[in-house]
Amino acid sequence: MILGIGTDLANIERIAGTLERFGDRFRNRVFTETEQRKAERRADTPGTYAKRWAAKEACSKALGTGLRMGIAWKDMSVSNLETGQPVMEVRGWAAERLREMTPPGHRAVIHVTLTDDHPWAQAFVVIEALPDPAANA
């Protein structure tokens, strides 16, 4: 069953300007070390940050909160599988919210997809609850 859906569109040029203006202060407030390492290795560093910004916004919307109610930017983190597929991980308040919205006997799976077409970066997040065989054993 679908528990939540969120999407966000970010302007890559706006993120580039924010990176230029605030540098590490912005990076360290919003992005995890893993996200920063990934972005700094990429040719399109601002685009990589913009996609992750959009993913965090989309995830917060899928959680039904937006960026309020105690959720922090770093409570949500995008990494990639070896195949390149993006994966959203949550911790802190975001993980607590996810547990609250997941029905008993189920486990939550967060699906995330990222895309960009300069000057836009977009993310789409779907939170799904799947039956958890371990919970029903």
Domains of the chain: 2-131 (3.90.470.20)
Q: What pLDDT is stored for residue 23 in this prediction?
A: 95
Q: What pLDDT is stored for residue 136 in this prediction?
A: 62
Q: What pLDDT is stored for residue 69 in this prediction?
A: 65
Q: Tell me the per-residue pLDDT of 38-57, one tens digit each, with 9 for 90 and over.
A: 999 999 999 999 999 999 99
What confidence tier does 135 reach under pLDDT thresholds 50, 70, 90?
Answer: confident
Q: What pLDDT is stored for residue 9 in this prediction?
A: 98
Q: Going edge to edge, which strands form the sheet with 2-11?
A: 2-11, 120-131, 106-117
Q: What pLDDT is stored for residue 65 in this prediction?
A: 82
Q: What is the pLDDT of the chain when averaged over all its residues? A: 94
Q: Tell me the per-residue pLDDT of 97-118, one tens digit each, with 9 for 90 and over.
A: 999 999 999 999 999 999 999 9
Per-residue exposure over 8-32, b if at least 16 CB sit within 10 Å of its own CB, e if not: bebbbeebbebbeeeeeebbeebbb
Whether the pLDDT of residue 59 is over 90: the answer is yes
**Average pLDDT for 24-33:** 97
